[in-house]
Structure 1
């Protein structure tokens, strides 16, 4: 099957992160089995979703892993002019949810498997398809646990997130946290007798804003990234029941997107210290039952692969360019790298189209990715 034919099959599976991806995984498993490639399926605890891992070529340590995620973002509330889960070709573009992010890459990888099988590879090729990347890089963690138990591991991981096939060796990390402020309600006519949870949440958010300003100081910036500094922002807030009641509850979610050299946990710890030292004593002076609680939502590390590393040099060879760059969005690369598998990012399509209505990838990009994978196969046939 061609990469376009496979992409048509993959897009037809609604693998929005809230849904199961098992139908897609079973399709890929069956496709690979038809080529004589065995797979390991790694389910979540509920067995409603799964990662897929496969290996082909010679035995031994090392080799290259090609990795992609199967889940896509929702189409709810988006104004699509064509069916999102049906591949539609028009004017050299292929439309459908996930075409760019990142079923286009997975389709190219699957289409290349027969070619890899026909080559005299001198090192193994590893394939990985994960779930729930879009909601915090959750699924790949169990896949990495499974890989850690294998005696033979890949030496390099190529993650096919959409970069227009440009070589990328870095991205920011992310930490998302929920803060819950428990105040004390009373009639608003007697506001000083209560503890206004919204007002204390506002103080915390203001403190976050000030921390973000300090993190943006010129001496902390890294020009390789856009924006070139660690960012902090509050994205969701809820609180209050009626204007004449001092609100007893307020919660907000905030995120820290860090340069690889910064520590997102330190931002969270600093906010918690401010809450403990400055705000809680004020709240307790009115009502001892008031609290401020922080709980993690999701997170993943940044990626900062060295340009002179074997992984980066392979990517330069495959793309014909050592003009390495970084991306603003996160990937599973930081987790692979943290697990001891140096990682780089390169895939067909553009994130400019990702997550939007009428998402598309160009036929030209699919064809170019097919060519890149053939160059990888040729490189993997060389003697070490």
Structure 2
């Protein structure tokens, strides 16, 4: 019986529409059955609603150490995007494989699954752990129960490889992220008597302006880290809602913002600055009109950045697997910072490019899949030597 090809496995994975707002259980069941067919038992860790699960499985001996191969099963929505091919049916043209998740990041998962027979062909001197999570795209949610479970076990992995799309370039660092929601509660009235009300949209605009000023200050040259692009921590407002009619002073306005931080910078500083501005300047003016007005800030999600040392065991192994020590960083985030916080040194390397991620007609090239297959074959040789 011939070994499964990563290309064929990817076609099957793409067929599962695992958008973050929906369940991933059908895909997880497919992977669990695939592993069971190779004699590998998978452990499932469900969310509270039981609608999603992360999968953890170990190949090889039940001993300390080992390498985690980590990837997320969820994908971003295709709503409103102008796809020219079916997003949840893999298409092939000119050496490219199209479909939602081909690059971010079912291509890597397909390569890992294709490598399972080779990893099992000879005794492994160190285990390989497969960690496939849910809801990475909305805050690295599904990996957290896995890390909590690992923390309770006697054997902790010695390092982790996350297969996010880096065009198979070795990555040692990325920024952290904090996502926040600001809720401005004003006082409605007829717009003809606007001074009698508290315009929540206008006060939200002042807060957003403050965030813009904070972002400009963070972009100053003295805060730069040339390893990253952009080389500074960033602040941006991405969503805003407010108002019901033009002739009503709006009582409510909500906006979401995010802070993407360089390693070593605490995003809470931005929140504290905004809170101080709200409490010291805006709220006194709002409450002079109505004591029932308020400005509330609450976190939505967060994950830490990653900064693995170039001389670490994880980095040296990655260089060996990639055939390159041209280490770099990426602007997007991964669950890598969470693994690192759990005491598992982490690196990032996978097939495809994030230039295609989250876009219509997302694709990964066959050459990138083949390169990832070769990288994992080198991992098998390394662990079976």
TM-score range, shorter chain: over 0.9
> C-alpha deviations, 1:111-130, integer Å up to 9, x for none?
10110111232111110100
Q: Distance in 2 between matches of 1:28 and 1:79?
A: 30
Paired positions, count: 382
Q: Is residue 300 of structure 1 aligned with residue 303 of structure 2?
A: yes
Q: Is residue 12 of structure 1 aligned with residue 19 of structure 2?
A: no
> C-alpha deviations, 1:213-239, integer Å up to 9, x for none?
111111111011110000001111111
Q: Distance in 2 between matches of 1:165 and 1:132?
A: 23
The residue number in structure 2 matching 1:367 is 370
Q: Is residue 270 of structure 1 aligned with residue 301 of structure 2?
A: no
The structural deviation recorded for 1:242 is 2.1
The structural deviation recorded for 1:144 is 1.1
Structure-2-length-normalised TM-score = 0.97
Match of 1:21 among 21, 24, 28: 24
Structural mapping, 1:302-341, within 5 Å: 302-341=305-344
> C-alpha deviations, 1:128-149, integer Å up to 9, x for none?
1000111111111111111111
Q: Distance in 2 between matches of 1:13 and 1:230?
A: 35
Q: Distance in 1 between matches of 2:56 and 2:260?
A: 29
Q: Distance in 2 between matches of 1:190 and 1:23?
A: 56
The residue number in structure 2 matching 1:135 is 138
The residue number in structure 2 matching 1:43 is 46
The structural deviation recorded for 1:162 is 0.4
SS in 2 for 1:52: strand
The structural deviation recorded for 1:104 is 0.6
The structural deviation recorded for 1:293 is 0.5
The structural deviation recorded for 1:243 is 2.1
SS in 2 for 1:380: helix
The structural deviation recorded for 1:174 is 0.8
The structural deviation recorded for 1:339 is 1.0
The residue number in structure 2 matching 1:93 is 96
The structural deviation recorded for 1:195 is 1.2
Q: Distance in 2 between matches of 1:24 and 1:242?
A: 45
Q: Distance in 1 between matches of 2:223 and 2:324?
A: 29
Structural mapping, 1:36-115, within 5 Å: 36-115=39-118
The residue number in structure 2 matching 1:225 is 228
Structure 2 runs not aligned, ≥5 long? none
The residue number in structure 1 matching 2:219 is 216
Q: Distance in 2 between matches of 1:189 and 1:88?
A: 58
The structural deviation recorded for 1:378 is 1.4
The residue number in structure 2 matching 1:286 is 289
The structural deviation recorded for 1:190 is 2.1
The structural deviation recorded for 1:381 is 2.6
Q: Distance in 2 between matches of 1:313 and 1:100?
A: 25
The structural deviation recorded for 1:312 is 0.8
The structural deviation recorded for 1:199 is 1.3
The residue number in structure 2 matching 1:30 is 33
The structural deviation recorded for 1:205 is 0.8
Structure 1 runs not aligned, ≥5 long? none
The structural deviation recorded for 1:178 is 0.7
Match of 1:178 among 164, 174, 181: 181
The residue number in structure 2 matching 1:345 is 348
Q: Is residue 254 of structure 1 aligned with residue 251 of structure 2?
A: no
Q: Distance in 2 between matches of 1:231 and 1:40?
A: 38
> C-alpha deviations, 1:150-201, integer Å up to 9, x for none?
2111111000000010000111111111101111112222222211111111
The structural deviation recorded for 1:298 is 1.3
Q: Distance in 2 between matches of 1:76 and 1:286?
A: 42
Match of 2:196 among 189, 193, 196: 193
Match of 1:154 among 157, 162, 173: 157
Structure-1-length-normalised TM-score = 0.98
User: Which is further off, 167-176 or 182-191?
Assistant: 182-191
